[in-house]
Structure formats: structure tokens, C-alpha cells
Amino acid sequence: MASTTSSIMDTLFQRTLEDLIKGLRLQLIGESAFISKALDEIRREIKSTDPHTKSNALQKLSYLSSLHHLDMSWAAFHVVEVMSSSRFSHKKIGYHAASLSFSDSTPVLLLITNQLRKDLTNPNNEFEVSLALECLSRIATTDLCRDLTPEIFTLLSSTKIFVRKKAIALVLRVFEKYPDAVKVCFKRLVENLDSTDPHIVSAVVGVFCELTSNDPKSYLPLAPEFYRILVDSKNNWVLIKMLKIFAKLVLLEPRLAKRVVEPVCDHMRRTGAKSLMFECVRTVVSSLSDYEEAVKLAVVKIRELLLDDDPNLKYLGLNALSIVAPKHLWAVLENKEVVIKWLSDEDPNIKRESLRLVMAMVSENNVVEICRVLVNYALKSDPEFCNEILGSILSTCSRNLYEIVNDFDWYVSLLGEMSRILHCQQGDEIENQLIDICMRVRDVRPELVRVGRDLLIDPALLSNHFLYRILSAAAWVSGEYVEFSRNPFELIEALLQPRTNLLPPSIRAIYIQSAFKVLIFCLHSYLLQRESTTSSYPDTSALSELASKREMPEGSDSATFKAPSHSEQDEVFNPRVSNQSFEELSVGNGGDRTISHGQTSTPVTSENSFTYEAVVNHLNLIELALGPLTGSHDVEILERVRNLLCFIELIKGEVLECLVQKEENLNSAEMKSSKIIKLMSDAFSEELGPVSVSAQERVPIPEGLVLKENLNDLEMICGDIQLPSSISFSLVSNHYEEGVGASLPDLQSKEELEPPSEATSLLAEHRKRHGLYYLSSEKNDIVANDYPPANDPKLQDNQNNDTEDLVKLTEQLLVSKKRPNQAKPRPVVVKLDGDVVPVSANRPGPKDDLLSGAVQEVLLGSDTRTSTSRSNPSDKSSSKRKGKEKLITDPSSELNENLGDAEKLDHENPSSRRSKHRTHGKERRHKSPGKIREEREENGQKEKKKSSHRHARHKTRQRADVPLNVVSETPVIPDFLL
Amino acid sequence: MIRFILLQNRQGKTRLAKYYVPLEDSEKHKVEYEVHRLVVNRDPKFTNFVEFRTHKVIYRRYAGLFFSLCVDITDNELAYLECIHLFVEILDHFFSNVCELDLVFNFHKVYLILDEFILAGELQETSKK
């Protein structure tokens, strides 16, 4: 009793969907609270036995679910209940909820098969049928499709257009889920192509368009039907879909293209609809680009689009132009001024397209100018577009091993310039290219080192984290090819400048390693130079004093690296003096070191810059800059800092001492250190070329070496022993250094770590004293702001000027296409072993083997049947086809008997055959149709013999193909099209 | 093929959403948010096409409502633009001078019309006649 009353109350006072919506609209805040309250109501109401209450609740729930993303999977069973209601209005709600909320994993799907079957076969109410179809189109699973295929098949020939077109649209989903349905439904689907009702045709064409786009090959036999629709149909929508189908098909069958090109051009000329016109244009430029006339017409139409005021048409025009560009560059050149004009359009889409086209126009004759203007343009545009410009310059210039770059000096300095653009985010790409060019092009290295130096020396760049990768490349280049540097000392200073502490550890490690290389180079050059001019040294005593003074900061910095002899000396020194010298150094270290060290401001030849003073200064500078890093937590930095500092420690004493002493001892005293330096220098100057990816394979495996043994047992044995992490790797140089270091008796274990506490306390003390000169790590961002940005974004006002500039420029360039040859010959670009030779892309195997297999199977059968069953004499194609059928039936019936064998035999045959068509397309087209027919007849007979031969010939063009036999292949080429 | 259709107002409230490919609820939410972000700030002078992930969104603005269709990259933009207009005309015809409130309160009817218009991601009606 109580339950009945409550249900009546529910019914009477239930909130309708409208109430819910109104209520929701009144809630300005607390919407979610309202929704959860409503949800509670729904949960109660949906359990009601009254169908009206229940469906109303479900309706509310589906509203909330669809627009407020509420989970309604819990109500799945109620949905099924409402679906099975006998009243249409309830059923409607149920079906809608089902299509909204069901997914493949919904468990109750098993329950609805019969309900759907009942509704699909309902003879009285076509609306219920259509409800079921609509729902099925959304939720159909493999099981549902399998079970309901017979019903759908029946509906495909329903007399009610309303139902039939929905059944047709549904077929797409059914085929996708359950390919076996093709066997049943395909024939009827094809028959619907002949329907007189435009709705039906439109629906079928839609289905075929989707099917063809996934696997065009299977639908080639339907070309005659498609062709008829293409010629006869008046419906733009259908025509557009038809063009899409043909755009795929003609790529497979060149003879089809010959037939199709005329009607396509017809449509292009005649139609008033821009959408159809554009589709024609797109078809021509993408698939029929071999037909000059058609392309010319398309380009005329493209020009119309480009000059239109509607941004959509402009965009599409540019789009079409970029499709045509690779094959017919003249089309782009013809419209160049428009293209360039749209480069300054407001719409990013249009800008992007025209940029793409500008890049398509680039050739080795104009690359310098176009890039220059584009870079200037990039400076003025918004960050996003700026990066797009830079990205496209980079990718265009690097294409095919820098094919279009003749002057690498220019290109490298362009890369440097691009790095300095404020919004540049192409660090990774520029880094790759810098290193790549450095490896490949020997002649460009001096320029590259210069560019690298400019980048390294600019402290402002260190605050832009997008540039870190570029800087790391610059650092590496400067270290590796330091011999080209005009002033190596300057490089050391740049590599160790205080702001490098902004860099991430991995890049800082590269900096330090590069500094190491540069230092070795300096010392080596210094020694060489001194060997030749030992006598010309200035007053050595003065120098020695200076040297010991310079020693001080290092001494106070960390006692760890002090040679015993010097530490004695240092302690007696007046701290004030050391302070002074330190200040001096730090000033030099900071901004105006170029002034404090005279030699850096003026470009002097490297010969006279390697003075004793400079060497000592820089040894001190390195120690000073790297001292604090000995406590670094990053293993890469630590490793390299220690290498460098130990090396300095190793040589310093001797270098200094030997200078103080008289010349006679010089040779003997300096022996060791100069030997070290020489060794190191040799190690670094050894060029490490890139290694081919396959190099490892070429190394023969020595006999008796077991590589494939299972080491799992080992783990068991020493499970609890923690294996040392094997991350640390050392460069060749490190080995050298270690080896040398060990061989020298007087240097034993200086590099041994002192107890960290002592080091840190010393460090702390030092910092306290000289804290002023340190950049605290916490203040990184503030420091970063001290420096002005590398580039001030220029004002946007002269955009137009720029465009005009571009227009003028391209006019010049493109008019005078033949420019005098460059004064400089193009340097050799080394091809590295690992380079991938661009191969024509192999088509990936069809994804839905099953579906296309099924379709072909059906077509093989249905083709003969449909065409013979068709008795309309006025149908041109069918009458012609009939003739053809007769020709083919003989071999086919013959072969049908051993169909299985043929299938195996000619497994790869169709693909090779088609590829033959493609390659010889041109000759073939000129042959008379009769000849081809003869030839094909022959083919039919000789197929077996020939197949093996072709197989071998086209072995390289391997494509994953579905099994096809000769019989299905032979009727594939529609006769009337020849 | 149409992947989904969205009707959103300028504030980003979804008035109608129909997906022809299965998506998770959270994913739908994200898609709606992203599409709204994409289209809402575009100048009326801009193109009506925007790239969206691996597809493209074709949208059209009627008063405060954005009609957005997500279609394959190879589909004909202009045709779908027309198709949006046709849909709006149908709605207009049905509600006689349609406004956002009609869509808000006639949730189910709009869906029914849409189902007649597009099925399984394919257009069913191509002209008013």
C-alpha cells in the first residue's frame, strides 16, 4: 500500500525535464549541489514500476549525462527496460539513452539483441525501425552485428526510403565490426547505387566513400557504376563524394584517370557551387596532376579562390596550391605575389599556408634572400608564427643533406642569427644542425667556431632556456675545433663566465669539457711558441712575483689542490695583496674583461696572444671558476671539473717553476708537464668521426665468446650484492690523463678528496669573504633580468613595408631565375655512413584485411551476376560490359575449378601487375583499346606462366596484399573505360 | 565522416553534443573544452576551419552559438560548412525562428532532428527539398 502511494506521489509530483532545466538555470552557484540532488531523485524515480515515471527519470538522466557529463552507466539496465516499453514515446527515450551511454563494454548489451531484432522487423511502425537503426549505428558491437545482419539485409531493400537509407548508412558500421556481413549485404548495397532516389544514392555513395578511403583497391571493379554517377548525378554532395572516391581510384588505375579527367573538368567549369568546384580542383591537383590541361584549368580556379574576399576560399586556394606545388611549381610562381601578400594576413591559418608555399618556392638561387627576409619577418611576428617561420626555414634548408645550401658560411651565421631571435624555440633543431654541419662540412668549421664564439660570449643568451641546447652545441664546436679560434683565451672566459651557473648540469658539463680542450690547446700552442722563442722572454722575476700573487685566490679558494711547495709560500703572503689580485680577476671575470685583458679587445693573431701572463691568468681563472663546483652533486660536472682541476694541478707547478728558473734548467724541468700537454693535445686533436649504426655488426665475434648466455642465475647468486651503477663513462682523454697521472711519481694522490667538512668550511669562509662576487643560486631569476634581452622586438608598424619588400624581392628573384654562379664553389658535404637514403615510401598493408578480402570475394562473384542480371538495354555501360563478360567468362570458369591453387600461386600477382600498370602507364595510354583487350586476353591464358616472371621482376615492390586470384583480377579493369 | 557535432555558446556551455565515435566521458569533456577554446576567440574575418588534433573542426557562429563539426582532414570543408547552415535552417524551420532557449528546453527534439540529419557520421539530408 505504502509503495503504491509513494509511486503515485512520485508520478504526480515528479519533476519533468523542463522543471529540471529551469531549476538548473536558476542556480547561479551551487549547480553541482542541485545536480546531485536531482540525481538522487532520479535514482529513486527510475526504480519506479510506472513506465511514465521511469522514462521521465531516464530522460532527465540522459540530459544531465550528455550536457553535464554525469556518469549514467549504472542505469544501463533501466535503459534496457525503457527500450522495451511498448509506447513509442518511452521507447524513444530509452533508445536515445542507450545510444548515449552504451559502449562496447556495457554488459547489458547481450540483453538487447532480441529487442532490437523485434524493432527492426516491426512491419507497422517505421519510426521504431529507424529508432533501432539509429541506436545500432552508434552502439553496434561485433556480436550485435553478427546476430542482426539478416535483418539489416532485409532492410536494405525496404520499400520505405526513410528506412532504407538509414540501413545503408548503418552498413558501414556493420562491415567495420563484422566483415563477414559483406558476403550477405554487399550485393544489395551495390544495387542501391542504381536507385533512382537521391537520398538512397547519397547514402550509398557516402558509405562507399568511407570504404574506399580505407582500401581503394577493392572497389576498383565498381568504377563503371561510380563513373555513371559522376557523369549523371546533379547532387553536389554526391558528386563531391564521388570525386573523393575517384581521387583514390585513379591513383591505382591510370586508364581510369584518362576517362575521369574530362567529366571532372566539366564539373569544374560548369558548377556554381564553390564546394564542388574546390573538390574538383583538389581531385585534379592531387590525383590527376599528369594532365596538363586539367591542371591549368585548376590553377585558374585556384587563382579565383585566392583573390576572393572570403578567407575560407583564400585558405582553400592556398591549400590547393600547396598540393600542386611539388609537381607544378609554375602554378605557385604564377601566384607568388598573392601568396606573399597573404603571409601578412591576420588569420594564422592563412599565414601558415602561405608560409608553406613560400618555402616551396625556395631554390638554391634564392634561398639566401628568402631566408633573410623571412628571418626579418619572424622578428616582427608573434612568437608562435615566428617559430613556425624558423622551423620551416630550418627544415627546408636541411632537406636532403642541405641540398639547397651553397654557402655554408652564410647558413651557419644564419643559424647563429636565428638563435638570437627572442622567441626562438628551435633550440633542439639548431643544435642538431650545427653539429651535423660541423661533422659534414669541413670548410665551414672556422666560421662555425666564430658563430659559436659569438653565442658563447654573450651573457644575455644564458638567461634564455630555449637556447641552452644551441649553446651546448656552440660550446662543443668551440672546444672541438678550437684551432680555428682567433682568440682561445676569450673562449675560456666565455665558457666559464659566472652566468653559466644558469645552465642545466648536463650542458654545463659540456662547457667545462670544452674549456678543458681549449686550455690544452692554449698550453700546447704556448709551449710550441716558447720552444721557438725561448730567449725573447721579458723579465722573469717580475713575472714570477705576479705568478705567486695570482696563486693566492686559488689558495684561499680551496686548499685541496695546492701543491705543497706553493702552500708554504702562500701562507706568508699578505691577505690584502691576495684580495687585490682576486678583485682584479673578478672584474675581468665579469663584464669588461675585454678591457682588462688587452689582447681580447683587438683581434690579434694567435701567435702573440699566448703570453706567459695570459696562460697563468687563465689557469687561475679556471681554478677560481671551477673551485666551487668540486662540491657539485652532478656526476658529469664533478667528473669534468675534477679532470680539469687535477690537470692544472699537474702542470701548474712545473710551468710556473720552470719559468722562474734560468733557461738552462728549462728543458729538463718542463719535460714532464710539456709531455703531458703534448699527450693531451694529441688526444683531443684526434678527430672522432661518426660511427655507422651497423659498425657493430661488422666486428666479428671472437671464437669462444658466449654472448647469449642467460645471466639470470648470476643475479640469484649475487642478489644481495648491489652492483655499482655503470653510468660513468669516460672519454678517451680521461683515460689518457689517468694513465699519465699514474705514471708520474710526484703527483700521486693530490686529487684525493679531503674530508668534505673541511672543504665546505673553507668554501664557506671564502664565500663569506668574497660573497660579493658570487652569484647566489637563489637569485638566478633576478640576475637573469639584469641583462637586457638579446633582441628587442621591433614595432609591428612596418609590416606592410616588409611584405612589399618580400614581393619585390621574389619578383627580382624569380624573374632573373638564372643568376651568375656563385664565386664560391659549394663545399663538400660529407655523407655519413648512417644516412638513410630516401626511399620511395612503401604503402603500408591494408589495416582491414578481413574487410577488403571479403569485399573482393563478393565482387568476384557479384560482378558477373549483377551485370548479367541487369537487363536494361539502354544502360550503356551494362551492354558494353556484357560483351566483356563473355570474353572473360571462359578463362574464369576454367580457372574457377582450381581456384584454390590459383589463389596460392598468384598470391602477389595483382600488386605486381598493378605496379606494372603504373610504371608503364604512359606507354599504355597511347595504345589502342583493342590492343589492350587482346593483350589482356593473352594475359588470361598466359597468366600462370607470366606470374612467376613478374613476381621476380617486382620483388622489390613488396606490398602486403590480400589473396586475390586471377579471376577476380581480370574483370577488375572495366572494359568500357578503355 | 563526421566525428562529432557540438553546439556551444560563447561561455562554453554545451547545448548539444553528439559523438559518432566512442569516447570516454572525461575525453568528451576535454574535447568540448578544447574546441571551445579553439573557436571562441577567432575573429569573424578568420577562416571557419581549424585544425584539431588529427582532424579538423569546421565551425560557424550564429548569434552566440557556435556550431562545430569535427571531420576528417580530407573532407570537403565548404560542403560541411553548408551542412551546418542546412542544419540551422532545419532547426529554424522547426522552431520557427530558433534561439538558444529553444535548444535548451527541447533537448530531445533537437537530438531527434539531428539523428534524422546525420546518421553514423554520414549526412542523411543534403538539401531542404
The residue among A963 and A700 whose pLDDT is bigger is A700
Give contacts of A 484-513 with B, CB under 8 A. none
Long-range contacts of A442-445 (CB under 8 A, 24+ apart): A442/A827, A442/A828, A442/A830, A443/A408, A443/A827, A443/A828, A444/A408, A444/A409, A444/A412, A444/A827, A445/A477, A445/A481, A445/A484
**Rounded distance between C-alpha atoms, residue B1 and residue A208, angstroms:** 11
- Whether A316 sits inside 8 A of B126 (CB atoms) is no
Give contacts of A 167-226 with B, CB under 8 A. 169-170, 172-173, 198-199, 202-203, 206-207, 210, 213
**How does residue A873 score in pLDDT terms, banded at 50, 70 and 90?**
very low
**How does residue A687 score in pLDDT terms, banded at 50, 70 and 90?**
low
What chain A residue is nearest to B3 in terms of C-alpha separation? Answer: A138
- Whether B1 sits inside 8 A of A274 (CB atoms) is no
- At A485-510, the pLDDT tens digits run 888 888 888 888 888 778 888 888 88
**Rounded distance between C-alpha atoms, residue A234 and residue A238, angstroms:** 8
Pick from B43, B115, B122: which is nearest to A134 by CB? B115
What chain B residue is nearest to A24 in terms of C-alpha separation? Answer: B104
**How does residue A140 score in pLDDT terms, banded at 50, 70 and 90?**
confident
User: In the prediction, which pLDDT does A921 show?
Assistant: 40
Question: 3-state DSSP helix/strand/coil percent for chain B, to nearest 5?
Answer: 40, 30, 30
Q: Please indicate if any CB of chain B lies within 8 Å of the CB of A138.
A: yes
**How does residue A978 score in pLDDT terms, banded at 50, 70 and 90?**
very low
Predicted confidence (pLDDT) at residue A703 exceeds the cutoff of 70: yes
The residue among A217 and A579 whose pLDDT is bigger is A217
Q: Please indicate if any CB of chain B lies within 8 Å of the CB of A134.
A: yes
* Closest to A90 in 3D by CA, of A124, A62, A123: A62
Q: What is the mean pLDDT of residues A542-556?
A: 40
Cell numbers describing residue A200: 538512397
Cell numbers describing residue A676: 703531458
Predicted confidence (pLDDT) at residue A856 exceeds the cutoff of 50: yes
User: In the prediction, which pLDDT does A597 show?
Assistant: 38
The residue among A965 and A829 whose pLDDT is bigger is A829
CA distances from A922 to A400, A598, A918, A973 (A): 29, 73, 8, 17
- A522, A529 contact by CB (below 8 A): no
The percentage of residues in chain A with a pLDDT greater than 70, rounded to a whole number, is 60
- At A742-786, the pLDDT tens digits run 333 333 333 333 444 555 555 566 555 555 444 444 433 333 344
Q: What is the mean pLDDT of residues B8-30?
A: 83
User: In the prediction, which pLDDT does A731 show?
Assistant: 39
- Give the ranges where A69-197 is alpha helix by DSSP (H): 76-83, 88-101, 113-120, 126-139, 142-155, 161-177, 181-192
Predicted confidence (pLDDT) at residue A913 exceeds the cutoff of 70: no
**How does residue A849 score in pLDDT terms, banded at 50, 70 and 90?**
low
User: In the prediction, which pLDDT does A718 show?
Assistant: 65
User: In the prediction, which pLDDT does A27 show?
Assistant: 72
**Rounded distance between C-alpha atoms, residue A502 and residue A778, angstroms:** 11
User: In the prediction, which pLDDT does A955 show?
Assistant: 41
* Closest to A364 in 3D by CA, of A415, A327, A401: A401
A464 CB-near residues (< 8 Å, 6+ apart): A790
* Closest to A450 in 3D by CA, of A482, A493, A496: A482
The radius of gyration of chain B's CA atoms, rounded to the nearest angstrom, is 14
The residue among A351 and A7 whose pLDDT is bigger is A351
Predicted confidence (pLDDT) at residue A224 exceeds the cutoff of 50: yes
Cell numbers describing residue A247: 581521387
**How does residue A740 score in pLDDT terms, banded at 50, 70 and 90?**
very low
Predicted confidence (pLDDT) at residue A518 exceeds the cutoff of 50: yes
Tell me the shortest Cα–Cα distance from A345 to chain B, in angstroms: 9
Cell numbers describing residue A325: 606545388
Number of helical (H) and strand (E) elements in chain B, helices listed first: 4, 7
Long-range contacts of A933-936 (CB under 8 A, 24+ apart): A933/A887, A933/A975, A933/A978, A936/A970, A936/A973
What ipTM was assigned to the predicted interfaces of this complex?
0.90
Burial A244-259 (b: 16+ CB within 10 A, else e): bbbbbbbbbbbbbbbb
**How does residue A543 score in pLDDT terms, banded at 50, 70 and 90?**
very low
Predicted confidence (pLDDT) at residue A730 exceeds the cutoff of 60: no
Among positive and negative, which fits the CA dihedral A715, A721, A725, A729? negative
Cell numbers describing residue A527: 709551449
CA distances from A43 to A40, A58, A200, A680, A954 (A): 5, 9, 43, 81, 66
Q: What is the mean pLDDT of residues A632-657?
A: 79
Pick from B28, B49, B122: which is nearest to A169 by CB? B122
| DSSP state letter for B10 | T
Q: What is the mean pLDDT of residues A811-834?
A: 51
The residue among A495 and A590 whose pLDDT is bigger is A495
| DSSP state letter for A574 | -
Mean pLDDT, chain A, integer: 67
User: In the prediction, which pLDDT does A558 show?
Assistant: 37
Number of other CB atoms surrounding residue A272 within 10 Å: 7
Q: Please indicate if any CB of chain B lies within 8 Å of the CB of A236.
A: yes
Q: What is the mean pLDDT of residues A885-909?
A: 41
Characterize the bridge pairing of strands B2-9 and B14-19.
Answer: antiparallel
User: In the prediction, which pLDDT does A961 show?
Assistant: 41
User: In the prediction, which pLDDT does A604 show?
Assistant: 38
- A618, A519 contact by CB (below 8 A): yes
- A886, A937 contact by CB (below 8 A): no
Q: What is the mean pLDDT of residues A839-857?
A: 55
- A468, A427 contact by CB (below 8 A): yes
Q: What is the mean pLDDT of residues A18-39?
A: 76
A-to-B residue pairs, Cβ atoms closer than 8 angstroms = 116
The residue among A920 and A422 whose pLDDT is bigger is A422
Characterize the bridge pairing of strands B14-19 and B49-52.
Answer: unpaired
Cell numbers describing residue A671: 719535460
Tell me the shortest Cα–Cα distance from B124 to chain A, in angstroms: 7
- Whether A312 sits inside 8 A of B47 (CB atoms) is yes
- A855, A186 contact by CB (below 8 A): yes
Pick from B76, B111, B119: which is nearest to A169 by CB? B119
- A477, A449 contact by CB (below 8 A): yes
- At A93-138, the pLDDT tens digits run 888 888 888 877 777 777 888 888 888 887 777 788 888 888 888 8
Q: What is the mean pLDDT of residues A918-924?
A: 41
CA distances from A693 to A232, A529, A584, A697, A719 (A): 58, 41, 51, 9, 34
- A464, A740 contact by CB (below 8 A): no
- A790, A464 contact by CB (below 8 A): yes
**Rounded distance between C-alpha atoms, residue A418 and residue A398, angstroms:** 15
**Rounded distance between C-alpha atoms, residue A97 and residue A114, angstroms:** 18
**Rounded distance between C-alpha atoms, residue A898 and residue A892, angstroms:** 10
* Closest to B57 in 3D by CA, of B39, B70, B44: B70
- At A561-573, the pLDDT tens digits run 333 333 333 333 3
Q: Please indicate if any CB of chain B lies within 8 Å of the CB of A93.
A: yes
Q: A106 — phi, psi (to 5°)?
A: -65, 125
Predicted confidence (pLDDT) at residue A874 exceeds the cutoff of 60: no
- A209, A246 contact by CB (below 8 A): no
Cell numbers describing residue A442: 669541413
Q: What is the mean pLDDT of residues A139-168?
A: 82
Q: What is the mean pLDDT of residues A357-365?
A: 81
- Interface probe with B: pick from A236, A276, A319, most Cβ of B within 10 Å: A236
- Whether A169 sits inside 8 A of B105 (CB atoms) is no
- Whether B77 sits inside 8 A of A312 (CB atoms) is yes
Name the residue with cell 540529419.
B117
Q: Please indicate if any CB of chain B lies within 8 Å of the CB of A899.
A: no
Beta bridge partners of B18: B5
